[in-house]
């Protein structure tokens, strides 16, 4: 940057710096997420992870603006690059460092079930490829094409914008309580496999941080007593916890089969009429 006057290296450095900063709010969110639920925050503090995601998106957007501005400025007012070898080495080191960070974040994220941490790891992997772009810029300058540096800077800016779009979409979906359709499929399959469950009346899933919660209503035989219906609800709760990944709690409501209830009511009315 100051030593090399490389726009591509500056853009990559800005991107890597913003990526490193995203680990701070994510760590704070994980710490807050461990706090127990209170009378005000009855679902706990898992949503802090989504707030950290908003900050991450803002940092990615800021890095895109700064990198794009510097690249355009250097295209309008080209400046010679010094120490091309340093730029080349920095790009290779940046790629290696980002890939190590990406592997670690993705592995830990998958282990604990954190989509945000996995996404952050994929973001770091993207940073690694932008570092390789810096290497291409250095090679272009060495071959006598000085404009390769600001052009690569613009390409890195475009890469940041792609990452921004993906990150913003993920955070928007989390804030809007969106879940992956395959999780809904897994929940429905688990409920229908429970003996005594005749139908699924309603089913809702929502993320709280990197954990899922479910609310469902199931239909059972209307002739069952309270204890038997409760046992089915307990089995449904157990099936959901074992059948849906990352689910930590579920609320199960039991409703009688309305068709059976109507038939039973008509039968009682008929018997009463005959008795009279």
> Where do the domains of the chain lie, and which CATH numbers do they carry?
7-175 (1.20.1510.10), 181-275 (3.30.70.1350)
What pLDDT is stored for residue 63 in this prediction? Answer: 74
CB atoms within 10 A of CB 216: 24
What pLDDT is stored for residue 248 in this prediction? Answer: 92
Q: Where are the beta strands (DSSP E) in 94-193?
A: none
Beta-carbon-side half-sphere exposure of residue 81 (alpha carbons within 13 Å): 29
Q: Tens of pLDDT along 55-66?
A: 878 877 877 787
What pLDDT is stored for residue 193 in this prediction? Answer: 96
| DSSP assignment letter at 214 | E
- DSSP string spanning 224-258? --HHHHHHHHHHHHHHHHHHSTTEEEEEEEEEE-H
Q: Which regions in the chain score pLDDT beneath 50?
A: 1-4, 261, 264, 266-268, 270, 273
Q: Tens of pLDDT along 153-206?
A: 788 788 878 878 888 888 889 889 999 999 999 999 999 999 999 999 999 999
- From 187, 174, 155, 159, select the one nearest 251 (Cα to Cα): 187
Q: Where are the beta strands (DSSP E) in the chain?
A: 199-208, 211-220, 247-256
What pLDDT is stored for residue 3 in this prediction? Answer: 46
Q: Are 17 and 124 in contact (CB under 8 A)?
A: no
Q: Please tell me the distance from the alpha carbon of residue 184 to that of residue 224, in angstroms, as a whole number.
A: 28
Q: Please tell me the distance from the alpha carbon of residue 263 to that of residue 266, in angstroms, as a whole number.
A: 5
pTM (two decimals): 0.74
What pLDDT is stored for residue 267 in this prediction? Answer: 47
User: In the beta sheet, which residues pair with residue 231?
Assistant: none
Dihedrals phi, psi of 113, to nearest 5 degrees:
80, 30
């Amino acid at each position: 940057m100051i030593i090399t006057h490389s726009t591509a290296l500056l853009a990559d450095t800005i991107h890597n710096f913003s990526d490193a900063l995203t680990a701070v709010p994510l760590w704070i969110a994980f710490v807050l997420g461990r706090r127990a639920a209170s009378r005000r925050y009855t679902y706990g503090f898992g949503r802090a992870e989504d707030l950290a995601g908003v900050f991450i998106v803002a940092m990615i957007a800021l890095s895109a603006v700064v990198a794009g501005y510097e690249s355009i400025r250097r295209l309008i007012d080209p400046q010679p690059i010094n120490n091309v070898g340093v730029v080349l080495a920095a790009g290779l080191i940046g790629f290696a460092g980002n890939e190590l960070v990406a592997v670690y974040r993705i592995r830990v994220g998958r282990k604990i079930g954190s989509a945000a941490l996995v996404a952050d790891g994929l973001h770091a992997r993207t940073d690694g490829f932008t570092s390789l772009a810096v290497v291409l810029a250095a090679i272009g300058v060495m071959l006598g094409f000085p404009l390769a540096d600001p052009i690569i800077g613009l390409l890195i800016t475009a890469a940041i914008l792609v990452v921004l779009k993906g990150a913003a979409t993920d955070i928007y979906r989390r804030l809007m309580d969106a879940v992956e359709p395959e999780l809904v499929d897994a929940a429905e399959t688990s409920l229908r496999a429970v003996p005594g469950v005749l139908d699924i009346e309603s089913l809702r899933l929502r993320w709280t941080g990197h954990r899922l919660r479910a609310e469902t209503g199931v239909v059972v035989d209307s002739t069952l007593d309270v204890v038997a219906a409760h046992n089915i609800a307990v089995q449904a709760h157990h099936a959901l916890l074992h059948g849906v990944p990352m689910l930590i709690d579920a609320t199960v409501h039991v409703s009688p089969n309305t068709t059976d209830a109507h038939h039973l009511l008509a039968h009682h009315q008929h018997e009463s009429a005959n008795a009279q």
